[in-house]
Amino acid sequence: MEAMQVHRRLEWFAKEVEADPGFLTRPPLQAGVKPVTEPDLHFHVSVGGWGVYEAKSRTFLTLP
pTM above 0.75, yes or no: no
Q: What is the pLDDT of residue 19?
A: 94
Structural domain spans, the chain: 2-62
Instruction: Report phi then psi at 39, rounded to 5.
Output: -65, 150
Query: Tens-digit pLDDT profile for the chain (64 aa)?
Result: 878 888 888 898 889 889 997 888 887 788 888 878 888 989 888 777 788 888 988 888 887 7
CA–CA dist 38, 5 (Å, integer)? 27
- Which sign, positive or negative, has the C-alpha torsion 18, 11, 37, 47? positive
CA–CA dist 18, 3 (Å, integer)? 23
